[in-house]
Amino acid sequence: MTLFSEFRVLVGTPLKLGDDGFGETRIVPILGGTVSGPGLTGSILPGGVDEQRIRADGLTRLHARYVIRAEDGALIKVDSQGLRHGPPEVIAALARGERVKPGDLYFRTVIRFETSAPAHDALNKAMFLTDGERLPDCVVLRLTAV
């Protein structure tokens, strides 16, 4: 598969809302970031959020929503949903803020875009799969078109 774009999403400290019986809920603020690649280039605007639901076994459902300002000034809404899981020792290392090898963690999302910018209308008509990596201060997502 060919790389469409790479997102570096800067994240803040998670807000832990507790376990309501369906798993622990965390809200992770999105502080900004960069978008680079042959398909899309721009900046991730601050103010987005990643809502996470974490089961007792460490399986995490992710749902992030944020906005990109493309290089040409167009605004593009991102809706990203996915899963992250791995062995207990890898999940524990992530919780401590440590870097883990990408192959030790399953981290995939599906991204849909919405924009009113005519130059980017093709984004409204496609879906993208990502291979994700969690770093101490950011999430790296490598997008490929489906």
Mean pLDDT of the chain: 94
- Ordered by start, the domain boundaries in the chain are 5-145
* Of 17-21, 31-35, 68-72, minimum mean pLDDT range: 17-21
Class of domain 5-145: mainly beta
Contacts by 44-53 with C-beta closer than 8 Å and gap 24+? Answer: 44/7, 44/8, 44/9, 44/10, 44/68, 45/69, 48/78, 50/11, 50/139, 51/25, 51/26, 51/27, 52/14, 52/25, 52/26, 52/27, 52/28, 53/22, 53/23, 53/24, 53/25
Q: What is d(CA 75, CA 42) in angstroms, rounded to the nearest whole number?
A: 10
Helices in the chain by DSSP H: which ranges?
A: 88-95, 121-124
> What pTM, to 2 d.p., does this model score?
0.92
Largest CA distance in the chain: 47
* 76-111 tens-digit pLDDT: 999 999 999 999 898 888 888 888 887 899 999 999
Report pLDDT for 21. 85
